[in-house]
Amino acid sequence: MSDEIERSTARVRFPGISPRAYEHPVDRGALAVLRAVPGIGPVLQAVAGAFTERGERLGYVASAIRVGPKQYPDLDRLRLEAAATLDIDPVPDLFVQRDPKVYARTLGIDKPFIVLSTGLLELLDNDGRRFVIGHEMGHVLSGHALYQTILYRLMDLQQGLGWMPAGFWAVRAVIAAMLEWYRKTELSCDRAGLLVAQDPAAALRVHVALAGGMDLSQVDTAEFLKQAKEYEQVEDVRDSLLKLIKTWRSTHPMAVVRAAELQRWAAGEEYREILTGSYSRREDDRPTSTFTEDLKGAARSYKESAERSEDPLVKVLNEVGDVLVGAADRVRSKFNGQ
């Protein structure tokens, strides 16, 4: 196993940590774009107002097990530990729901709560569960729960709009924009999960398990990461289009992509600086970041990713983007000089 995925045995806490310390720049950029989609504001407000958070919470109270000192105490310790590591107060409730499907979600508008499926928990060891709970705590700290809740409501709502084409396609457009943002939040919250677990190897085992790992002793993690490289380095533009078709309706990035992205971050300076106490703090956050700043950060991240990629479609889009940016700069300079 390589140096960047060796286990960290000492865990530190991050008092007052700002979500901007770990948020992936494409997450913030995608959210900025999402908020700028014409007409999305009224849609989000209408959907948020049409349902009560209390009803959703009561649904899980009635059909799932709420984790606490007397119910899944081991999970409760992980819940409290994760919240303390990221300095989250109050600590979100955690529910375990009987379902063979593998998922974790964070819901709620005013008081977020976390739901883990039994299918997911049965798949993971204790360190993997710590990473997953930390991941969901990242959603809480970043304020993702509001948009995630609305997304799930919209996905339910669209099932009943098939008889009304105009309404159906309007909702589909909003869902598509929200799914693009949602996929980016997973990259951010994988980082939050790593900050809680402080064990890149455990995070990698979770991604292996999500991809199909049953007996992890029979899966070589180095070979698994090679799959990510193979996925990123397709040589035929038809494969690039297939990748787009495969992912545009998904709520999560591909497991190998998530694994490779997180391991790169774990091996980088930014992660090490946070571990040593050098990170953005909430007390220094401005009330809102500007739309332009978030887009610029996302653009830089996309460009760096494109420069690493061997994907022909990504390379073409990157080159076109460079041409357009250069042209825009020249036009702007011309008018500014007049």
The 10 Å Cβ neighbour count of residue 211 is 15
HEC profile of the chain? CCHHHCCCCCCCCCCCECHHHCCCHHHHHHHHHHHHCCCHHHHHHHHHHHCCHHHHHHHHHHHCEECECCECHHHHHHHHHHHHHCCCCCCCEEEEECCCCCCEEEECCCCCEEEEEHHHHCCCCHHHHHHHHHHHHHHHHHCCHHHHHHHHHHHHHHCCCCCCHHHHHHHHHHHHHHHHHHHHHHHHHHHHHHHHHCCHHHHHHHHHHHHCCCCHHHCCHHHHHHHHHHHHCCCCHHHHHHHHHHHCCCCCCCHHHHHHHHHHHHCCHHHHHHHCCCCCEHHHCCCCCCHHHHHHHHHHHHHHHHHHCCCHHHHHHHHHHHHHHHHHHHHHHHHHCC
Residue 126: what pLDDT?
A: 96
Q: Does the pLDDT of residue 277 top 50, yes or no?
A: yes
- Decide: 86 and 22 in contact? Cβ < 8 Å: no
Greater confidence, 41 or 177? 177
Residue 125: what pLDDT?
A: 94
Residue 331: what pLDDT?
A: 39
Structure tokens at 250: 């998904």
The overall average pLDDT reported for the chain is 74
**pLDDT tens for residues 47-66?**
555 555 677 788 899 999 99
Residue 224: what pLDDT?
A: 86
Residue 80: what pLDDT?
A: 97
Q: Does the pLDDT of residue 227 top 80, yes or no?
A: yes
**pLDDT tens for residues 106-165?**
988 778 999 999 999 999 999 999 999 999 999 999 888 777 677 666 666 655 555 444
What average pLDDT does this structure show over 258-267? Answer: 92
Q: Does the pLDDT of residue 70 top 90, yes or no?
A: yes
How much of the chain, in percent, has pLDDT values that exceed 90? 39
Residue 156: what pLDDT?
A: 64
Residue 48: what pLDDT?
A: 55
Residue 255: what pLDDT?
A: 82
Q: Does the pLDDT of residue 216 top 70, yes or no?
A: yes
Q: Which stretch, 30-39, 145-154, 168-177, 322-331, has highest mean pLDDT?
A: 145-154
Q: Does the pLDDT of residue 102 top 70, yes or no?
A: yes
Residue 322: what pLDDT?
A: 47
Residue 326: what pLDDT?
A: 46
